[in-house]
Amino acid sequence: MDQGEALNIIDVREPWEYEEFNIGGKLISLGSLPEHLDELSDLKDAEIIVHCRSGARSATAKAFLTQQGFGKVRNMLGGIMDWRANFG
């Protein structure tokens, strides 16, 4: 992010969590992820970074997206809690 690199970040938290604090990723809550697969189809071969509050929901999102054929999904370990502790 600091280098201005375009990143595909998906925030799988709930809208109220996103409103409280976010790092600019696209908000798609974990429960609605299956409904948004069509709009993510262009990213099947691109690196996608998923994150949540602590890393648990994003681990589930990573597993789901991988099962759907997305090949380069990364989980932001520690989630927003870790990011804020180190960068925020």
* 22 has pLDDT over 90: yes
The DSSP code sequence of 27-46 is E--GGGGGGGHHHHGGGTTS
* 23 has pLDDT over 60: yes
Q: State the catalytic residue, choosing from 30, 52, 73, 80.
A: 52
pLDDT at 87: 82
Copy the structure tokens of residue 72: 């380069």
pTM for this prediction: 0.91
Active site (annotated) includes residue 52: yes
Average pLDDT estimate for 39-67: 96
| CATH number of 9-86, picked from 3.30.70.270, 3.40.462.20, 3.40.228.10, 3.40.250.10 | 3.40.250.10
Q: Are 73 and 59 in contact (CB under 8 A)?
A: no
Copy the structure tokens of residue 79: 């989630």
